[in-house]
Amino acid sequence: MAFNINEIRSQLQFDGARPSLFDVDIVAPAGVTTIGNPKFRFMAKAATIPESTMGMIEVPYFGRKIKVAGVRSYADWQVTIINDEDFSVRRTLEAWHGVINSSEGNIRSISNYRSTARVQQYDKGGAVIRSYEMINCWPLQISQIDLAWDNGDAIEEFSVTWAFDYWNVVGLNQDEIER
């Protein structure tokens, strides 16, 4: 029965989660006045469900090593954004960078530059099935926007790399929340 199609069908009861059913929401820190724009939800074209890695510590003992769990770490988070002609999302992100560290004065104009971001996955009926919150996030890198004369049938987009301290799964029972 190893090659029976009904075996996988019985395990895939909901027809699989779809990677295109998601949205991203970012709440800006106070002092970055141009974000909070509901447009961001619609302009986030691609994102990832965030990654975490459990570190490992090798403990030597009489010529052998045992492996024990170490510290959990979180990789940077990537979001691809569609650029509209008003540049509102990019302008907001550039302003965020500016309050973290100004170009000319090399100063920070707000003390709390970190925020919260959320990526939500939806089922085919529109209900949220999983929601991740990135805690203390901030835009680490705003990528370039490629321009070219031979790109007449494309819309500009750019990527943002977000640094954050950790993520939580939100909206679940206390027993299921990962800390």
168 with 135: CB under 8 angstroms? yes
Q: What is the mean pLDDT of each run of 10 residues along the chain (179 residues)?
A: 74 81 85 65 89 95 95 96 91 90 85 91 93 95 94 93 96 53
Given this model, what pLDDT does residue 179 score?
45
d(CA 141, CA 78) in angstroms, rounded, equals 10
Could you tell me the domains of the chain? 16-50+67-169 (2.30.110)
Strand-pair partners of 9: none
Given this model, what pLDDT does residue 38 score?
63
pTM: 0.83
d(CA 161, CA 143) in angstroms, rounded, equals 8
Given this model, what pLDDT does residue 22 score?
92
Given this model, what pLDDT does residue 160 score?
96
Amino acid at residue number 178: E
Residue partners of 159: CB distance under 8 A and separation at least 6: 78, 79, 80, 81, 141, 142, 143
